Amino acid sequence: MKIEAIKIKNYRVFQDVKVENIPNMAVFLGMNGTGKTTFFDVFGFLHDALQTNIRAALAKRGGFREVLSRGQTGDIEFEIKFRPSEDEPLITYQLAICLNDKRQPAIKKEILRLRRGQSGAPWKVLEFSFGEGRAAEGEINTYEDIRLAERSRQQLDSPDILAIKGLGQFKEFVAVAELRRLIEDWYVSDFHVDEARDVREAGYSERVSTSGDNLALVAKYLYDNHREIFSDILTKMEQRVPGVKKVQAQETEDGRIVLRFQDGSFKDPFVSRFVSDGTIKMFTYLVLLNDPEKHALLCVEEPENQLYPRLLEELAEEFRIYSVLGGQVFISTHSPDFLNAVELEELYCLIKENGYTKIYKAAEDEQIRRLWEAGDLLGDLWRQDLLSDGVEKL
């Protein structure tokens, strides 16, 4: 599954932003305060809204007026265009949120539609407003079913509930199923080295948590159930982090799991609390990126933190491999060293103008493209402020 375009309107610093032609691996560059975290939070907001409702998702962020872009009075709007796979139709999901007559958050518009080819009218799966609308009915398993389906009027329990959540008949339809997977399986790394070092009670975890606090349990799961994947991770650790020869997730006598790292120069392994931050972080990323089940969308904020600059090029390549194997990756950074390993087509730049953030694709700026084609590295252009102040701003 791949997100091809995103439009955001009146969501915090994004008063009116469109990001198009998004590749499998996309890097978002910007100074502190330009909105990199907010951009990732769009998916966090949709995730919370799907789990609960719009009102609760907004309340978690301070309420409608706190989220609405400063000085604006309109609706909060999102549009996501994606494909379940390369040969599937483009699917568009639109959502507009307003305050109703009672000054409570409500869904003003929710539309899901798809189109085959580049022409012709799109087929609407659903169209809702304030808890009421029309949706395709009957057994919906294919796109042909949508084309032939009758549209019937439906009523949701509340005007702040997403129709893609409230209408159970769509759970098997691929368009809605893939959209829900995209939102539910959204993952943003909030990695904390100290939590990854912690000794954990023996238990069971298959996937790395956003903070990395279950790293030892996941390592043990991979060792016990996916030995080949675990061996590949160790091979990459040896290549990426000089000296590391072996990693163990060992259960102690009192029923806890502890990570031990074997340095080739020493006979006895080191417990994780004595290993460098960079070693722990690289191992965590490798475990995350070698998950047998790829996340639909993996977001990583500032991976350069705690990592030795020379490792950033290796890490960028690991992210790229992950994206090629089926998991889309969004990365935020302001590290010149990481940027030096980024391709021009992968880079988006965030700049602030008059209090709001704009996003432009670096490859579409003629000056940047000429410098890139002449051999300049993106990290060097960033150091010279040419990716922020020297561009032809949108």
Percent of the chain with pLDDT over 70: 85
Give the confidence band of 70 by pLDDT, cuts at 50, 70, 90: very high
Q: Any idea which of 53-57, 234-238, 336-340 has the lowest mean pLDDT?
A: 234-238
Q: Is the predicted pLDDT of residue 226 greater than 60, yes or no? A: yes
Higher pLDDT among residues 216 and 158, named by residue: 158
Over the Cα atoms of the chain, what is R_g? Answer: 23
Query: Under a CB-based contact definition with an 8 Å cutoff, are residues 95 and 78 in contact?
Result: yes
Residue 217 has pLDDT above 50, yes or no: yes
Region 59-77: mean pLDDT is: 95
Q: Which residues of 171-195 are buried (b: 16+ CB within 10 A; e: fewer)?
A: eebbbbebbbebbebbbbbebebee
pLDDT at 233: 86
Top pLDDT among 188 and 93 is at 93
CB atoms within 10 A of CB 108: 18
- Provide the percentage of residues in the chain whose pLDDT is more than 90: 44
> Do 68 and 14 meet the contact criterion of CB atoms below 8 Å apart?
no
Tokens in use for 198?
A: 């912690």
Q: What pLDDT, on the 0 to 100 scale, is given for residue 347?
A: 97
**pLDDT range class, residue 11, cuts 50, 70, 90:** very high
All domains of the chain, ordered by start, with CATH? 2-185 (3.40.50.300), 188-342 (3.40.50.300)
Length of the chain: 394
Token pair in block for residue 65 = 């007026």
Question: Nearest 10 degrees: CA dihedral of 179, 113, 19, 41?
Answer: -40
Q: How far apart, in whole angstroms, are the C-alpha atoms of residue 335 and residue 337?
A: 5
The answer on pLDDT for 90 being more than 70 is yes
Q: List residues bridging with 256 in a β-sheet.
A: 201
CA distance 224 to 115: 45
* Position 357, amino acid: T
pLDDT value at residue 125: 83
What's the pLDDT at 81? 93
Residues 228-282: pLDDT tens digits? 998 898 888 877 777 676 777 777 766 666 777 776 555 555 555 556 788 888 8
Global pTM value: 0.88
pLDDT score for 391: 45
Q: Can you tell me whether residue 93 is helix, strand or coil?
A: strand
pLDDT of residue 174: 66
- DSSP code string of 330-366: EEEE--HHHHTTS-GGGEEEEEEETTEEEEEEGGG-H
Q: Across all residues in the chain, what is the average pLDDT?
A: 84
* Contact by Cβ (8 Å): 391, 372: no
Of 53-67, 105-119, 169-183, give the lowest mean pLDDT range: 169-183
How does pLDDT run across 105-139, given as a tens digit for each residue?
999 999 998 876 555 567 888 899 999 998 876 65
